[in-house]
Amino acid sequence: MHQYHNIQLFKADFFKALAHPLRIRILEVLSEGDKNVNELQSILGSEGSAVSQQLSVLRNKNVVYGLKEGTTVVYSLRDPLIKDLLAVAKQIFDNHLVDAISLLEGMRKEQ
């Protein structure tokens, strides 16, 4: 029972780490390859402080890690499976979208 509880806590904590639009975007960008803060900033069109703040959350939750290369820190996904998780989340979203569209079309036909 205890082991099961630990896994639930890990999952809850992990999803909390993902629960922010900018953090999701950072992970999507890192899914394509490692980036430093400046690269992330320019891709995301977001302020450095905002990007750094969210990277810090992702680092503390062990979702990403940073390696120092000279004066810059290059960020990577801690686990490549995060890329798959994001893809599945997108599929779920797409399925909901398809359901919503067909529901609307059905309602339109009834009118």
CATH of the domain at 7: 1.10.10.10
Structural domain for 8, as ranges: 2-78
Residue 24 domain-assigned? yes
Residue 30 domain-assigned? yes
Residue 106 domain-assigned? no
pLDDT above 90: percentage of residues in the chain: 64
The residue ranking higher by pLDDT, 48 or 66, is 66
> Which pLDDT tens digit goes with each residue over 4-57?
788 898 899 899 999 999 999 999 999 999 999 999 999 999 887 899 999 999
Residue 103 domain-assigned? no
pLDDT above 70: percentage of residues in the chain: 98
Residue 105 domain-assigned? no
pTM tops 0.85, yes or no: no
Residue 31 domain-assigned? yes
SS3 per residue for the chain? CHHHHHHHHHHHHHHHHHCCHHHHHHHHHHHHCCEEHHHHHHHHCCCHHHHHHHHHHHHHCCCEEEEEECCEEEEEECCCHHHHHHHHHHHHHHHHHHHHHHHHHHHHHHC
Total domains present in the chain: 1
The residue ranking higher by pLDDT, 82 or 108, is 82
